[in-house]
């Protein structure tokens, strides 16, 4: 019995192909023959016909054909299927024998050659006697044949050769050995294929013809056998549809067989074969669901057909094989393009195969546990004469016996014993692991991570049983985290238990400790007695002793392990193990919490480390140290207790180093921060808790940050969600869940004890030196040193503000661009307790808008913290927002000499510029002086004296000035002519003497200048008097370069009589002036219309009287006659 | 009826697992855990289907040789998994559905209990809390015992 007894035979698993033998080829010494053979063998791809070729000598002996049975009446079959049958038809009995013979049509010794060829054919026929095997002849020729019909000799000789060899014309072929060998070969093999198919067709007919002789009672086995043969021949014929049909029939017939303990193995074996064929063909036909359905049916049929109870492991082995084979077929089909899904993939079949392999192992363990004294029977009942069985699935010691009664119970017993003893040597674990790893590969492909993990656990456990602890541990360790992260504690505990056993058996210290730590922890679902045992072992290990063996371990392995542990003890050094806890759930929990999110540098920093043990017995740790991002603090936060190794267990409940299960232990730490760390964050980077001591072994549990392990984040979430009221605890105790980790804190500066006041008069006025008075008063108990002031624009505002804001301490001079926006660290000196100082600050703001100003006072003070003298730097800042506004609004307008608003001015004609300064400041302003700076294009008519010197303006008051100007020529500039600047020098009325005067420059608007052809101005007194002559002189100036014709007329008025030219036409030369004199004689008093002067320029029709009105008065005030004013009387007398 | 009933939290950790006492408890734990692969896949396949039209019953998750595993997911992604003996052909889809619905109702009662903190494991030792749920599960598993 080979260990591969359960494997399907090769001839079952291969794809059956027509078997054709080639004779007469000397492939060793003849190069031409070699080339022909190579052409047959090489490149047999899917497009070539499915034939398996074999070269055999011409006199090869084919298997003898048994004489034909004429009647089945007395024939009783001895089994279902002979073991040699499939191989016989695949590899021994050909469908066609081809005789190769070198012969050209023009062969001179034709007769001799022809008879030699006939002899060769005859020899082949002889050895195939009784079979339907076809024979064909291929003539290897050197010459290329002529087209059919042209070579008369060839057709004659071909006919003769066929006759001599008793061949039909269809079985004679010519193979010219020329360039196109492969092409000829392909045509040849297609012809061979047809012959082979005919052969298999006749074989099928032959088998079918037996059917009528069979009867249902004695020939049940033959029904199956024949059906199987028909199906197999159909496969050889490549008729897979019929093959499938016949296999299905055969399968049903197998289950109709009468099953008994003696033949159940044979039935299952054949059923398994046929099922394999059916599934294979279904996959080949791309009907995978049929394959799956067939397989399910097969398994349901056979599951319960266990057979002999003493050999029940055989059934498990058979089941395992069925699943594995189906898995292989499924996988094969997927490789050829089938798509599988998550819930239907080969993995499930491999998994089930592994399950049956495990069952086989279990059964073998119970059934094959014979004493060592039980000897393997001699003679070997499993030996047969030929070394192989005659029929598939029969027992070697009773082959061919169909009776259900055991003729020789003793022989049966010996046979069973032999099988059982053989089974004992089978390495089950190896098979199981192979199957499991096949399944793992599949489930990985089909997105089943949990299934994969589960199978890996099983693999690990199997390795454990196979005593390969290293591999077991590797696998278990790999999957543990999956179960841990999903919180499946029961499963995790089970895996950890196995892992602990592995690490014990290998005496792997660190692993042993790690697994113990977790098995004692809250994630473990072990019972307390188990936990107690593990804790005791852990303490033993820490005291450099051997732990007790884990339960249920192999006794031999335990012996080895105990030696290993003993060796470990003698080894000194490297007994400190640091274990990071963030990836698992140890039995000690840790949380670090700073008392506050920030501490002033002058108070000690305090934090608590909370520890809680989940193990069943109190445990003492030897050292606790806390590490910070600034390592200088590490030294202050260490708790260590010098204790002897023996004390680990003693006085357990006392001392702060002792953790009582379930109780939260709080450890307070305190240290003073360095003054350099002000403004920095202090962070706990890790907490190290040491168990055991360096004398024995020491485990350092390392928590990253402020504690927490693999399970704590979920727990914290759950605790946060909870709205349960926690039961009251004594004051000294706290609820573990209520503690939140606070792993970092800020160091902030000492609280200042000074006051900073700002005094000023908002708003600030543009460009003024705005005064800000800063008062600093110390309320400290001791002297403060090195008081420094930083003041100015608060950084972080609009960058433009920085450009337009300047700060200085000296108000007596105007500051310019070079002054900064922020004055830093102005030393102010020291201050005694209660003392106060004042500092003036001047700010000049160039633009309007609001600005934030910062006043920051820093100082040094000596203070004591925890009896430690430190120098603290304190600071206090004040910010103030100051609005900047324009001090006044300046309005400018152009008016004519008659104070009429002018849109534009006329060249060389005087006009007035009026300025109006309106105070917008809430504080009184003093206008120190004003100045008009004219542009070169403007000239003044009279003196430019300021009319508003030293005027004080209250809010809303305004000051106006008026200047008479003339623009000599018209600038032909677009947009007008520049007027100049108006400069106002001013200051706050309240400002001190030494505060500089601010000059505000206002750019005056441009004015449009137009030319005028004729300027008329009138010379007349300021008023008239009734019946007194009123002389009026009109000056007409020609402003052009042309001689102008002017028509002048004066319209009479009711209020005046007048003398002078009433209507005249005259010429005025360029640049000259004509004077017109009129004497008006007022008739009525009051405001009277003057006789209107009307001028018509012939060259300038646009020059209208309307325009004229701008320059000359149209009315005059006439005083009445009754006046006793002497001057009037004198005038009167003149008239 | 059922041989194992499990309630799994949204985060895929077990809230409650009960299996027949006669068989290896661990086996069922593994079975329920591995079935979550299929549950996850089915949930992600459902995607953003309209919540009110979503079918809570996931159907047969996967068949093993001896058992059938069925799944059900609530709108808050709490999963119910039920393992039924393969040989029990009397159980039709409709019966499984109604069993799940019963389970869902019982679970809702637990959730409504003010003393229950969502996400905590359902334990029968809290009389008013888990006991009723436990009894209901027991009733679903009766014929086995």
Query: C-alpha dihedral over A638, A641, A646, A648, to 10 degrees?
Result: -60
Mind spelling out the 3-state secondary structure of A723-777? CCCCCCCCCCCCCHHHCCCECEEEEECCCCCEEEEEECCCCEECCCEEEEEEEEE
What confidence tier does B81 reach under pLDDT thresholds 50, 70, 90? very high
Q: What confidence tens digit (pLDDT) does each residue in A837-879 have?
A: 898 889 988 888 889 999 999 999 988 888 888 888 888 989 9
Contacts of A947-950 spanning 24+ positions with Cβ under 8 A: A948/A917, A950/A926
Is A342 near chain B, with CB under 8 Å? yes
Looking at the partner chain, which of A448, A488, A490 has a beta carbon nearest the beta carbon of B37?
A: A448
Q: What confidence tens digit (pLDDT) does each residue in A75-125 have?
A: 888 889 998 899 999 999 999 999 999 888 888 888 888 889 999 999 998
Q: Where are the alpha helices (DSSP H) in A216-263?
A: 220-236, 240-256
Q: What confidence tens digit (pLDDT) does each residue in A256-293 have?
A: 888 888 889 999 999 999 999 999 999 999 999 999 99
Q: What's residue A570's pLDDT?
A: 65
How many Cβ atoms are within 10 Å of A661's Cβ, its own excluded? Answer: 16
- Are A488 and B14 an interchain contact pair (Cβ–Cβ within 8 Å)? yes
What does the radius of gyration of chain B's CA atoms come to, in whole angstroms?
A: 15
Looking at the partner chain, which of A448, A494, A722 has a beta carbon nearest the beta carbon of B117?
A: A722
Query: Which residue of B lies nearest to A352 if distances are taken between CA atoms?
Result: B65
> Closest Cα partner for A1112 from A1037, A1059, A1010?
A1037
Is A488 near chain B, with CB under 8 Å? yes
Residues of B in contact with A448 (CB under 8 A): 34, 37-38
- Which residues fall within 8 angstroms of residue A627, CB to CB, at 6 or more apart? A634, A684, A685, A686, A687, A688
Is 50 exceeded by the pLDDT of residue A1128? no
Q: What's residue A67's pLDDT?
A: 75
> Closest Cα partner for A939 from A999, A891, A892, A1009?
A1009
Is 70 exceeded by the pLDDT of residue B127? no
- Mean pLDDT value of segment B12-25: 86
- Which residues fall within 8 angstroms of residue A830, CB to CB, at 6 or more apart? A783, A784, A785, A786, A787
User: What is the pTM assigned to this prediction?
Assistant: 0.74
State percent of chain A over pLDDT 90.
31
The H-or-E segment that residue A720 falls in is: helix A712-721
- Are B14 and A487 an interchain contact pair (Cβ–Cβ within 8 Å)? yes
Q: Which of A75-89, A721-735, A790-804, B107-121 has the lowest mean pLDDT?
A: A721-735
What confidence tier does A655 reach under pLDDT thresholds 50, 70, 90? low
Distances (CA, A) of A65 to A69, A132, A1077: 11, 10, 166
Is 80 exceeded by the pLDDT of residue A457? yes
Q: Enumerate domains of chain B plus CATH numbers.
A: 2-140 (3.30.450.70)
Query: Which residue of A lies nearest to B36 if distances are taken between CA atoms?
Result: A450
DSSP 3-state assignment of A793?
strand
Is A724 near chain B, with CB under 8 Å? yes
What confidence tier does A190 reach under pLDDT thresholds 50, 70, 90? very high
- Which residues fall within 8 angstroms of residue A1009, CB to CB, at 6 or more apart? A904, A905, A906, A907, A967, A969, A970, A971, A976, A977
| pLDDT higher at B52 or A718 | A718
Is B62 near chain A, with CB under 8 Å? yes
- Are B62 and A343 an interchain contact pair (Cβ–Cβ within 8 Å)? yes
How far is B34 from chain A, CA to nearest CA, in Å? 5
Report the C-alpha gap between A564 and A560 in whole angstroms: 6
Is A713 near chain B, with CB under 8 Å? no
- Mean pLDDT over all residues of chain A? 86
Q: What's residue A60's pLDDT?
A: 87
How many Cβ atoms are within 10 Å of A125's Cβ, its own excluded? Answer: 16
Report the C-alpha gap between A292 and A295 in whole angstroms: 5
Q: Evaluate whether B140 touches B16 at the Cβ level (below 8 Å).
A: no
| pLDDT higher at A448 or A66 | A448
Q: Report the first-to-last Cα separation within chain A, whole angstroms.
A: 170
Report the C-alpha gap between A877 and A854 in whole angstroms: 7
Between helix A449-465 and helix A489-506 the angle, nearest 10°, is 30
- Mean pLDDT value of segment A229-248: 94
Report the C-alpha gap between B137 and B18 in whole angstroms: 8
Report the C-alpha gap between A609 and A591 in whole angstroms: 6
> Closest Cα partner for A605 from A682, A667, A707?
A682
Query: C-alpha dihedral over A453, A454, A458, A461, to 10 degrees?
Result: 70
Report the C-alpha gap between A590 and A385 in whole angstroms: 75
Q: What confidence tens digit (pLDDT) does each residue in A797-849 have?
A: 888 888 888 888 887 888 888 888 888 888 988 889 888 889 888 998 888 88
DSSP A656: T
Query: C-alpha dihedral over A688, A692, A696, A700, to 10 degrees?
Result: -20
E strands, B30-105, are: 57-63, 67-73, 79-85
Q: What's residue A1135's pLDDT?
A: 40
Q: What's residue A1041's pLDDT?
A: 82
| pLDDT higher at A260 or A232 | A232
Looking at the partner chain, which of A490, A494, A721 has a beta carbon nearest the beta carbon of B118?
A: A721
How far is A319 from chain B, CA to nearest CA, in Å? 12
Report the C-alpha gap between A591 and A582 in whole angstroms: 13
Is 80 exceeded by the pLDDT of residue A225? yes
Q: Which of A1-5, A200-204, A861-865, B58-62 has the lowest mean pLDDT?
A: A1-5
Q: How many residue contacts between A and B have a Cβ separation below 8 Å?
A: 65
The H-or-E segment that residue A599 falls in is: strand A598-600
What confidence tier does B125 reach under pLDDT thresholds 50, 70, 90? low
Is 90 exceeded by the pLDDT of residue B31? yes
The H-or-E segment that residue A866 falls in is: none
Residues of B in contact with A487 (CB under 8 A): 11-14
Q: Is the peptide bond before A763 cis (omega within 30 degrees of 0)?
A: yes
Is 90 exceeded by the pLDDT of residue A252? yes
Q: Is the peptide bond before B118 cis (omega within 30 degrees of 0)?
A: no
- Mean pLDDT value of segment A900-907: 81
- Are B38 and A343 an interchain contact pair (Cβ–Cβ within 8 Å)? yes
Query: Which residue of A lies nearest to B42 if distances are taken between CA atoms?
Result: A342
Q: Is A355 exposed, middle or buried (0-12, 13-18, 19+ CB in 10 A)?
A: buried
Q: What confidence tens digit (pLDDT) does each residue in A557-596 have?
A: 999 999 988 888 766 566 788 998 888 899 999 999 999 9
Q: Evaluate whether B43 touches B85 at the Cβ level (below 8 Å).
A: no
Return the residue in A457, A461, A488 with the most chain B beta carbons within 10 A, the one to mutate for interface testing. A488
Is 80 exceeded by the pLDDT of residue A962? yes
Report the C-alpha gap between B81 and B137 in whole angstroms: 12
Q: What confidence tens digit (pLDDT) does each residue in A111-167 have?
A: 888 889 999 999 998 888 888 898 999 988 887 777 777 777 888 888 888 888 888
DSSP 3-state assignment of A887?
coil
Is 50 exceeded by the pLDDT of residue A193? yes
> Closest Cα partner for A859 from A986, A755, A952, A703?
A755
| pLDDT higher at A995 or A746 | A746
Tokens of A661: 């299960």
Q: What's residue A196's pLDDT?
A: 93
Report the C-alpha gap between A854 and A763 in whole angstroms: 16
> Closest Cα partner for A345 from A275, A430, A447, A436?
A447
Q: What's residue A194's pLDDT?
A: 92
What confidence tier does B144 reach under pLDDT thresholds 50, 70, 90? very low
On the CB side of A130, CA atoms within 13 Å amount to 10
Q: What's residue B51's pLDDT?
A: 58
Report the C-alpha gap between A1006 and A978 in whole angstroms: 5
Total residue count of chain B as it appears in this document:
145
What does the radius of gyration of chain A's CA atoms come to, in whole angstroms?
A: 62
- Which residues fall within 8 angstroms of residue A947, CB to CB, at 6 or more apart? A930, A961, A962
Is 80 exceeded by the pLDDT of residue A928? yes
Q: Evaluate whether A353 touches A299 at the Cβ level (below 8 Å).
A: no
C-alpha torsion sign, points A692, A698, A699, A701 = positive
């Amino acid at each position: 019995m080979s260990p591969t007894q359960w494997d399907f035979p090769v001839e079952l698993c291969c794809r059956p192909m027509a078997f054709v033998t080639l004779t007469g080829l000397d492939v060793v010494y003849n190069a031409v023959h070699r080339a022909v053979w190579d052409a047959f063998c090489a490149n047999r791809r899917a497009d070539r016909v499915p034939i398996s070729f074999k070269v055999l000598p011409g006199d090869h002996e084919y298997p003898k054909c048994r004489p034909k049975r004429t009647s089945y009446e007395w024939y009783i079959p001895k089994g279902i299927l002979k073991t040699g049958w499939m191989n016989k038809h695949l590899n021994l009995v050909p469908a066609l024998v081809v005789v190769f013979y070198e012969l050209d049509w023009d062969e001179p010794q034709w007769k001799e050659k022809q008879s030699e060829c006939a002899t060769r054919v005859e020899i082949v026929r002889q050895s195939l006697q009784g079979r339907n095997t076809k024979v064909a002849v291929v003539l290897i020729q050197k010459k290329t044949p002529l087209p059919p019909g042209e070579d008369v000799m060839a057709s004659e000789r071909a006919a003769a050769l066929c006759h001599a060899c008793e061949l039909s014309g269809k079985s004679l072929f010519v193979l010219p050995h020329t360039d196109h060998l492969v092409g000829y070969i392909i045509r040849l093999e297609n012809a061979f294929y047809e012959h082979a198919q005919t052969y298999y067709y006749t074989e099928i007919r032959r088998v079918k013809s037996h059917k009528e002789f069979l009867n249902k009672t004695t020939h049940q086995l033959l029904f199956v056998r024949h059906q199987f043969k028909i199906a197999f021949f159909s496969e050889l014929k490549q008729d897979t549809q019929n093959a499938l049909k016949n296999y299905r029939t055969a399968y049903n017939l197998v289950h109709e067989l009468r099953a008994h303990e003696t033949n159940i193995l044979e039935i299952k074996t054949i059923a398994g074969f046929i099922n394999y064929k059916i599934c294979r063909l279904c996959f080949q036909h791309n009907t995978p669901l049929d394959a799956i359905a067939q397989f399910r049916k097969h398994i349901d049929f056979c599951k319960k057909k266990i057979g002999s109870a003493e050999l029940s492991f055989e059934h498990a082995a058979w089941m395992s094989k069925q699943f594995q084979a189906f898995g292989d077929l499924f996988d094969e089909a997927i490789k050829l393009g089938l798509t599988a899904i998550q819930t239907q993939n080969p993995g499930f079949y491999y998994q089930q195969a592994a399950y049956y392999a495990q069952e086989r192992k279990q059964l073998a363990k119970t059934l094959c546990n014979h004493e060592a004294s039980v000897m393997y029977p001699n003679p070997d009942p499993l030996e047969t004469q030929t070394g192989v069985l005659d029929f598939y699935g029969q027992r070697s010691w009773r082959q061919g016996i169909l009776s259900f009664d055991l003729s020789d119970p003793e022989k049966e017993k010996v046979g069973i014993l032999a099988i059982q003893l053989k089974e004992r040597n089978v390495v089950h674990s190896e098979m199981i692991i192979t199957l499991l790893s096949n399944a793992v590969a599949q489930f990985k492909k089909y997105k089943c991570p949990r299934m994969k993990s589960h199978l890996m656990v099983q693999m690990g456990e199997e390795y454990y049983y196979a005593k390969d602890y290293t591999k077991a541990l590797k696998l278990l360790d790999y999957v543990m985290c999956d179960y841990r992260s999903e919180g499946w504690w029961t499963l995790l505990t089970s895996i950890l238990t196995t892992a602990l056993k592995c690490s014990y058996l290998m005496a792997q210290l660190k692993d042993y400790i790690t697994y113990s730590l977790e098995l004692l922890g809250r994630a473990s679902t072990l019972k307390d007695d188990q936990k107690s045992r593990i804790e005791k072992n852990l303490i033993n290990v820490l005291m450099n002793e051997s732990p007790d063996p884990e339960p249920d371990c192999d006794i031999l392995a335990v012996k080895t392990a105990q030696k290993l542990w003993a060796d470990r003890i003698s080894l000194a050094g490297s007994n400190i193990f640091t274990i990071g806890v963030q990836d698992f759930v140890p039995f000690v929990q840790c949380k670090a919490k700073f008392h506050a999110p920030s501490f002033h540098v002058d108070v000690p920093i305090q934090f608590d480390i909370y520890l809680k043990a989940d193990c069943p017995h109190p445990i003492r740790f030897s050292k606790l140290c806390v590490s910070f991002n600034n390592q200088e603090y590490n030294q202050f936060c260490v708790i260590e207790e010098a204790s002897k190794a023996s004390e680990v267990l003693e006085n357990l409940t006392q001392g702060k180093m002792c953790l009582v299960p379930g109780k939260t232990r709080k450890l307070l730490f305190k240290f003073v921060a360095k003054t350099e760390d002000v403004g920095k964050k202090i962070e706990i980077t890790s907490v190290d808790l040491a168990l055991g001591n360096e004398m024995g072994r020491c485990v350092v549990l390392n928590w990253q940050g402020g504690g927490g392990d693999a399970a704590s984040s979920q727990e914290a979430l759950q605790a946060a969600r909870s709205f349960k009221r926690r039961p009251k605890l004594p004051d000294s105790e706290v609820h573990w869940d209520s503690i939140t980790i606070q792993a970092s804190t800020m160091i902030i500066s000492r609280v200042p004890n000074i006051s900073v006041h700002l005094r000023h008069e908002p708003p600030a006025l543009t460009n003024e030196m705005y005064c800000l008075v800063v008062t600093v008063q110390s309320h400290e108990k001791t002297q403060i040193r090195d008081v420094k002031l930083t003041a100015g624009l608060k950084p972080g505002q609009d960058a433009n503000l920085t450009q337009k804001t300047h700060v200085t301490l000296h108000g007596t001079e105007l500051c310019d661009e070079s002054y900064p926006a922020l004055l830093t660290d102005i030393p102010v000196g020291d201050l005694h307790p209660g003392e106060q100082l004042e500092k003036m600050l001047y700010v000049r703001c160039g633009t309007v808008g609001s600005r934030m100003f910062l006043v920051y006072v820093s100082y040094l003070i000596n203070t004591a913290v925890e009896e430690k003298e430190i120098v603290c730097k304190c600071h206090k800042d004040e910010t103030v927002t100051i609005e900047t506004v324009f001090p006044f609004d300046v309005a400018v307008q152009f008016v004519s000499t008659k104070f009429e608003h002018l849109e534009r001015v006329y060249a060389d004609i005087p006009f007035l510029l009026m300025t109006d300064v309106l105070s917008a400041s809430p504080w009184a302003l003093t206008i120190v002086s004003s100045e008009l700076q004219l542009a070169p294009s403007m000239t003044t008519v009279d003196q430019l004296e300021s009319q508003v010197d030293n005027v004080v303006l209250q809010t809303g008051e305004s000051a106006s000035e008026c200047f008479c100007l003339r623009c000599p020529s018209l600038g032909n500039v677009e947009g007008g002519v520049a007027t100049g600047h108006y400069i106002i020098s001013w200051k706050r009325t309240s400002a001190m003497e030494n505060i500089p005067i601010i000059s505000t420059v206002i750019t005056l608007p441009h004015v449009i200048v137009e030319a005028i052809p004729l300027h008329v101005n009138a010379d007349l007194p300021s008023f008239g008097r009734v019946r007194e002559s009123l002389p009026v002189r009109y000056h007409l100036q020609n402003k052009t370069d042309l001689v102008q014709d002017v028509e002048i007329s004066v319209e009479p008025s009711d209020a005046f009589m007048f003398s002078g030219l009433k209507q005249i036409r005259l010429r005025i030369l360029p640049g000259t002036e004509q004077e017109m004199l009129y004497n008006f004689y007022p008739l009525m008093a009051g405001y009277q219309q003057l006789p209107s002067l009307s001028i018509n320029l012939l060259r300038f029709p646009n020059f209208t009287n309307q325009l004229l009105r701008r320059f000359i008065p149209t009315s005059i005030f006439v005083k009445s006659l009754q006046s006793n004013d002497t001057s009037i009387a004198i005038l009167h007398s003149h008239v | 009826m059922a041989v194992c009933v499990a309630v799994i939290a949204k985060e895929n950790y077990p809230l409650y697992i009960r299996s027949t006492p006669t068989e290896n408890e661990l086996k069922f734990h593994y079975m329920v855990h591995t079935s979550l692969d299929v549950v996850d896949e089915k949930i992600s396949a459902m995607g953003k289907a309209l919540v009110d039209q979503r079918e809570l019953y996931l159907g047969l998750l996967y068949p093993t040789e001896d058992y059938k595993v069925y799944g059900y997911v609530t709108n808050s992604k709490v999963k119910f998994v039920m393992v039924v003996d393969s040989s029990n052909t009397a159980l039709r889809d409709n019966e499984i559905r109604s069993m799940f619905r019963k389970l869902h109702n019982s679970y809702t009662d637990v959730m409504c209990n003010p003393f229950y903190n969502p996400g905590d494991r359902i334990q029968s030792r809290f009389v008013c809390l888990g006991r009723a749920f436990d009894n209901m599960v027991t009733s679903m598993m009766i014929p086995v015992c």
